Chains A and B, each alone.
Chain A
Amino acid sequence: MAALEEGFTLSGVPLGAGPHGLLGVEQSDKTDQFLVTDGGRTVILYKVSDQKPLGSWSVKQGQIITCPAVCNFQTGEYIVVHDNKVLRIWSNEDVNLDKVFKATLSAEINRIHSIQGTEPLVLFKKGAVRGLEALLAEPQQKIETVISDEEVIKWTKIFMVFRHPVLIFITEKHGNYFAYIQMFNSRTLSKYTLLLGQEEKSVIQSFSASVDQKFISLMSLSSDGCIYETLIPIHPSDPEKNQRVVRSLLLKTVVSGNARNGVALTVLDQDHLAVLGPPLPASKECLSIWNTKFQTLQTSKELPQGTSGQLWYYGENLFMLHGKFLTVVPYKCEVSSLAGALGKLKHSQDPGPQTVPHFVNWETSQGYGLQSSEHSKRILRRRKIEVSVQPPASKQLLSTIKKDSEKHIEVELCKFLAIKQTPDFHTVIGDIVLELLGRHKAEPSFYPRNSLMQLVQTHVLSYSLCPGLMEVALEKADVQMLQLCLQQFPDIPESVTCACLKIFLSINDDSLQEAEINMESVSDYSDSVQEEKMEEQTEILHNGFSPEENCDNCDRELNEKSRAAAEETTSCPVIPKRAALLNAILHSAYSEMFLLPHLKDIPAQHVTLFLQYLYFLYLKCSENATMTLPGLHPPTLNQIMDWICLLLDANFTVVVMIPEAKRLLLSLYKFVKSQICICSELNKIEVSFRELQKLSQEKNNRELYSIEVLELF
């Protein structure tokens, strides 16, 4: 449930003296510190939690800051532009802006964008974009003109998409709006014309945008008070062509249509927007949070002293100019659920990670309930257990599950989970799941998917606590649930893992696209182009070993072919959602002996597909020196290798007969061979190191006797 907390004012000088309010609020390289650029001549560094300024810098009389100061996250320095063309770069220690580094550029700057993970990017008024480093190397370089003469940049924003910056800027020309997407990994600029739809006459007053895997979702607040959403693809199908994108109504009349002052909006998360402006023509200005999923107003806050119509959002704080002072309103949004949106959920529980006890105590469940209190008396170090046979709350919930509707159960469950956890929490959760599944068995139409998902996400369940859950999910081909279970359960039997694998491989792409799948283990492999690729080191002769020599002659013949094949495989053979599911399989624990017989049942074309995917991952792995994949939770090289071996062990006779697998097998054979070589080399090195160690030990041993001086103080 989204909520605004009590706001506070950042003390200091009154701001917003300039005609356009503040120029900007930007993050600095330290959390909780923000650079505030006043419209006049001042830049102030605030520490928000302390509510006080840490530093303040001003330009000389006569100069005027034209673009908000930003922090260079790579160096920790601050950058500001004054008089459109002059760059100033300084650090915390500098006092006088007049004496710091200065660079005068040949064109006027619109804005500097800085974001974690990349160098600052400078956007010129004529639409050209440069990296800061390149600019500083040659400040007077010629800057090309990208946009036409009468176009004016209205709004800009930068995103990181797969570790590469993407810049979007909106221009206006005679009431027509254009969006430009500048990709930096591919250096492509795509232009889109924003079609306003029926509301042709309206003027767009404010923009905000968020990004997901494929689209930039551009929100615009029009003068009619409605919010429209425009989806702009990140990877354009044809960058050369001028494309059109249509905007669609997202929220109706969130602010009064003819607001005098500016209105502003900003995207908070997937489902939430913050809007600044008067809700009714006569009313005072308000900060309101809207839920776009349910089209509901979540909360709002009146700002009687008026604002400048500007709104910034960083981390958990909303910044705005309230009266003459910068006001910070902390914003919290916990996981939203239907119950929460309806306002029924009072305290939803924090889904943060469980605090794991210092050592695993295998006896807690034993000590609980069954064994008498003398047992627990002896164990003083263990936390005192509140001994009650079954907390009444869980009992109540169990009876609810027996008869009530799905929705009601969900609500009750949320309530139950919000209570603090007892030591036997995991067993209670297990019982709840079993009860839910029991009812599902009795009436097959009852499938409380959301409740089950929520229970699985408590991190305390395991397969053995609720053996039926995965079977049901398998039956329903509920891949999302299966993925979640694979991620959460430590003890899934190999047969079930294999059944999951079968479903993941056989389910068709269309139904996959619909499923909501956690994609964190997959990163976009396609854009990590060869730049990181290691040089192919086939030429180097190792100690007594040359990879080329060891390869058979026939292999060399096939070299050309397989190289072509390798190039083929650089594109992922499965769609990202399937890849995410397969990665969950790769992460799961198993024992070879029990897994092998089940792997034999997988149809041959699926085996080939999986092998292709694994081989693709392997190639991706070997592209960088650390042999890891990009992403948050990628499969490790060992997991990939183990699964390749397992699949081949189980299905070798089948795979060998499939013509399309032949090329794959050959390349697999080759890389296994190279792996063996590496291992044998490593073993050789290990032995050498041990000898070295022995030698150094002997050296120490020689000093068997010495006379030393010792002074005791």
Chain B
Amino acid sequence: MGEFKVHRVRFFNYVPSGIRCVAYNNQSNRLAVSRTDGTVEIYNLSANYFQEKFFPGHESRATEALCWAKGQRLFSAGLNGEIIEYDLQALNIKYAVDAFGGPIWSMAISPHGSQLLVGCEDGSLKLFQITLDKIQFERNFDRQKSRILSLSWHPSGTHVAAGSIDYISVFDVKSGSAVHKMLVDRQYMSVSKRKCIIWGVAFLSDGTVISVDSAGKVQFWDSATGTLVKNHLIANADVQSIAVSDQEDSFVVGTAEGTVFHFQLVSVTSNSSEKQWVRTKPFQHHTHDVRAVAHSPTALISGGTDTHLVIRPLMEKVEVKNYDAALRKITFPHRRLISCSKKRQLLLFQFAHHLELWRLGSTVATGKNGDTLPLSKDADHLLHLKTKGPENIICSCISPCGSWIAYSTTSRFFLYRLNYEHDNISLQRVSKMPAFLRSALQILFSEDSTKLFVASNQGSLHVIRLLEGSFKHLHTFQPQSGTVESMCLLAVSPDGNWLAASGTSAGVHVYNIKHLKLHCTVPSYNFPVTALAIAPNTNNLVIAHSDQQVFEYSIPDKQYTEWSRTIQKQGFHYLWLQRDTPITHISFHPKRPMHILLHDAYMFCIIDKSLPLPNDKTLLYNPLPPTNESDVIRRRTAHAFKISKIYKPLLFMDLLDERTLVAVERPLDDIIAQLPPPIKKKKFGT
């Protein structure tokens, strides 16, 4: 298959933000995750846990609560005191409403989905009415002494439990007054702590209130009498989160020690209707605080400071052994954060608030497989570009020639011109961006760096011609009438004639750049697109989906290619379909038209379309070099998928030229090293 020099890059110092909230939506089987930097991500659990949407973070917008309301509406509230609704179609913030109660610590949607309650720093609970396109303040509940850290509605919607510091209040929704105030014991292992913070409450339909607190307790209260019924001491540290299943027969709590406990309602004896809550299973998938948990019908979902999103299926609820039966740990975003200029061998790294430009080193040495070559020139950090303002960067791109850099935040679009004079680089911002170029979801330069393609929210695609130091707006492709779905992925053909764009659900649209019109639409598929690319010469569009299927579509012929039909007929290798990270990048070999390069977080693969496809009996991944077998055997056992798992976790991989690859890795240890230290557990002695 060939020998490559691989630039193995581990200096992309990317650290994902910790997870703050998770909210599971049963109707759409989607999971909303908010991170400490304010980013909100939407995972589609039906599509192999693909992260299909995200809303960029904002420095001042620390999300403390995240809720789904009726009709797939997503709300968040945070320490800036605002309640935000997200537009899941256009991928932007619909509106923000100030609750005027100081920082908001908690939020809960009423069981009927028509009301929204927030708990504020000043001890107030504010009830909002959810209208068709907005929320409307309705009234305040009786104000409490200290901040309201957790909220839960009774399933009938008549009462609300609110966790504060040292006590839990039960409110009557109609009158807005507290019916009961349940004081929580501050004692912790017979040592009195200063305060006992109620991190979470859950109100069950039988009137039981479950609370979790900073003293490591899970407590069951009778809300009718306001008395403590049962107490489970489960941790030496805070219990920070709780989530109850819809059937109310099981719930999950997360602790600051990284443990997740599963509680289930189990019959006391056989044939008796008397049931009690039993702590059944502990899970230790996290190293740090588990800040948020969710309970889907088939899985326990948890996330926290260690940035992993863990989906632990409940084995007794899983019907068949498939994707859903496996433990999932999602660490890296399912989108690209890196772009590369092949001509100048540059890498552009995207961080939340800055960009880094690096020039790769070089070597003159050669070697054999596995060798590390001596560097004649080390990699250089050329540029550190900080954004202005509090908003996170949504996307960024460097042009193939290396002389343009573009990036976008939620409200502004930036384009820079880079000039290289020997070792000096000068950066010049292209000013006077047109008004329509405000926010981009995806940016792409054409292969010859003369055109810039920008996918904005609201579904429009802008084509801009780049001139020396300035630009000219050529055209805007408006979305199909009636749809407002934003395009998240773009691909342009190397000859510059075709542009492919894909949203999250509808099919892939292919535009003719020469004639500036829609050429065709690839039929939509059940699973979202994770990566797109157009092959040189043939103009075949290769599409990877989150269910690990790969299609090849001929743009000129407007149909799937023969190879694509063959592989669909035969089916992919079962191990290929069992991979659990999506393909995030596809590229091609300039000299070998039959090759397709693609990678996910744990492998990269070169598909050689000229070789026979593997069936389920063939060995898909063979890490060992062939021994001295005859060429005949080698040829007979060779198949189209050449897989390498040397580089992982792999965030980016591309061909720089025929014989050079660049691989950007981000070892997990490096991320862990940058996290705050976990709670220290003594191994010896007590």
- Contact with B267, one of A370, A431, A683 (Cβ below 8 angstroms): A370
Question: Is the CB–CB distance between B685 and A708 below 8 Å?
Answer: no
A282 within 8 A of B: no
Q: A363-B266, A713-B1 are in contact. Are A708 and B318 (CB under 8 A)?
A: no
Q: Are A709 and B3 in contact (CB-based, < 8 A)? A: yes
In the bound complex, do residue B369 and residue A711 qualify as a contact, i.e. CB atoms below 8 Å apart?
yes
Contact A708 B6 (CB under 8 A): yes
Asked if B270 contacts A711 (CB within 8 A), the reply is: no
Contact B10 A713 (CB under 8 A): no
Measured CB to CB, the closest approach of chain A to B180, in angstroms, equals 27
Q: B468: CB under 8 A from chain A? A: no
Residue A707 CB within 8 A of the other chain: yes
B270 contacts A713, CB within 8 Å? no
Which residues from chain A sit less than 8 Å from chain B, CB to CB? 359-363, 365-366, 368-370, 378-382, 424, 427, 430-431, 464-465, 675-676, 678-680, 682-683, 686, 697, 700-701, 703-713
Q: Tell me whether B683 and A686 are in contact (CB under 8 A).
A: yes
Does the CB pair A359–B269 fall under 8 Å? no
**B371 part of interface (Cβ distance < 8 Å):** yes
Give the distance to chain B from A359, nearest Cβ to Cβ, in Å: 5
On whether the beta carbons of B363 and A707 are closer than 8 Å, the reply is: yes
A427 and B269 contacting across the interface, CB-CB below 8 Å: yes
A708 engages B378 (CB within 8 Å) = no
Q: Give chain B residues whose Cβ lies under 8 Å from the Cβ of A706.
A: 8, 372-373, 375
| Chain A residues in 8 Å Cβ range of B321 | 381
**Count class of interface residues, chain B:** 35 or more
Kindly name the residue among A379, A686, A706 whose own CB sees the greatest number of chain B CB atoms within 10 A: A706
Least CB distance from A218 to B in Å reads 52
Q: Does B519 sit at the interface, judged by CB under 8 A?
A: no
In the bound assembly, the distance between CA atoms of A380 and B366 in angstroms comes to: 57
With A363-B266, A365-B266, A703-B10 as given contacts, are A708 and B372 in contact (CB-CB < 8 Å)? yes
Q: Is the CB of B373 within 8 A of A709?
A: yes
| Contacts A381-B318, A713-B626; A707 near B5 (Cβ below 8 A) | yes
Complex alpha-carbon distance, A361 and B281, angstroms: 10
Give every chain B residue within 8 A of A365 (Cβ-Cβ).
Answer: 266-267, 270
Q: Counting CB contacts under 8 A, is B92 at the interface?
A: no
Q: Report yes or no: A709 in contact with B368, Cβ–Cβ below 8 A.
A: yes
The answer to whether A697 and B673 touch (CB under 8 A), given A427-B271, A704-B11, A709-B373, is yes
Closest Cβ neighbor of B605 among chain A residues: A712
For residue B278, which residues in chain A have a CB less than 8 angstroms away from its CB? Answer: 362
List of B residues within 8 angstroms of A378 by Cβ: 319
Q: Is B477 an interface residue (CB 8 A)?
A: no
CA separation between A640 and B1, bound complex, in Å? 64
Q: Which of the residues A360, A683, A704, A708 comes within 8 Å of B682, measured between beta carbons?
A: A683
Any chain A CB within 8 A of the CB of B174? Answer: no
13 contacts between A and B (CB under 8 A): A365-B267, A366-B267, A381-B315, A381-B319, A679-B684, A683-B683, A705-B375, A705-B378, A708-B371, A708-B372, A708-B373, A709-B368, A709-B373
Alpha-carbon gap, A708 to B373, bound state (A) = 6
Neighbour of B270 across the interface among A380, A424, A682, A708, CB < 8 A? A424
Chain B residue, CB-CB nearest to A681: B684
Say whether B642 contacts A359, CB under 8 Å.
no
Docked-complex contact A709 and B369, CB < 8 angstroms? yes
Measured between beta carbons, the chain A residues less than 8 angstroms from B646 are 710
> In the bound complex, what is the Cα–Cα distance between A713 and B275 (angstroms)?
61
Distance A464 CA – B264 CA, assembled complex (angstroms):
17
Instruction: Check if B264 sits within 8 Å of A363, measured CB to CB.
Output: yes
Q: Are B685 and A683 within 8 A (Cβ)?
A: yes
Set of chain A residues within 8 Å of B2, measured between Cβ atoms: 711-712
Q: Which 4 residue pairs are nearest across A and B when measured between Cβ atoms?
A: A679-B685, A427-B270, A712-B1, A711-B369
Residues of A within 8 A of B98 (CB): none
> B residues within 8 A CB of A697?
669, 673
| Docked-complex contact B315 and A359, CB < 8 angstroms | yes
Contact of B367 with A by CB under 8 A:
yes
B residues near A369, Cβ cutoff 8 Å: 270-271
Q: Smallest CB-CB separation from A359: which chain B residue?
A: B315
Chain B residue with minimal CB distance to A379? B316
A370-B271, A379-B317 known; A710+B266 contact, CB < 8 A: no
Cα–Cα distance between A410 and B548 once the two chains are bound (Å): 62
Q: What are the residues of chain B within 8 A of A363 when measuring CB–CB?
A: 264, 266, 316
- Per-residue 0/1 for B242-279: is the Cβ within 8 Å of any A Cβ (1 yes, 0 no)? 00000000000000000000001011111101010010
